[in-house]
Structure 1
Amino acid sequence: MQQLLAQLLNDISEMQQKFDHVKTTDTDYDFYTIVVPFTKQIDQQLKKFRSFETQILHLNYMNKQKFDLLVSNIESLSVECHFKRTSRKLFTEKLKAVQYDLSYIQRNEFALW
């Protein structure tokens, strides 16, 4: 699971870079050649992540609603990072929340087993 969490955190960093790129260049990524393959990759990672849901829900500051929101935010960020019309404030808030939750899970992974 440690490798999966590290990969998700790397994916989140990549989303930040893609978002910064669309904002500075004022252009969107192509939907079919860039966005769709990237979101499919993220969906595969999240499928693996969901398989650990039961263990993750045992952490002190994690519950079903927070877990579902974390997954939903990652899914939406994976799409929103490709388009210039995305609100910087909302994107940044979601990104920070996702990074915080994933880091929390990563730091407390030992408690899961």
Structure 2
Amino acid sequence: MSDDKPAREPIEEDARIDALEKRLAAAQQREEQRNLPKASGADANYRSGNRVLADLLGGLLGGAVIGYAIGYFTGTNPWGLLVGLFLGIVVAFRNIIRAANQRPEE
């Protein structure tokens, strides 16, 4: 028993284990690709709808506030407010048309 040999011989790598490790790595890679977050069409439509709403409300409210302020300081209050609202509506629709004419990102 004084031999220098270990009690067990080291086990060589089996070809089946190598094939199994390759299959496992490929499966993990496919799973990572499958679980990547993807922007769906519904999300993009929701964002564009929110943008249209924000443009419309921002144009109306911004035009009303600026028109009222100009009318208040110049003494032409109802006309300043009406002109401001009209310009706000024009700007809002211009922004909405520009957003509608843009191509979606892919």
Q: Which is greater in Rg?
A: 2
Higher helix share: 1
Higher RCO (C-alpha 8 Å, min separation 6)? 1
TM-score by length of 2: 0.34
TM-score by length of 1: 0.33
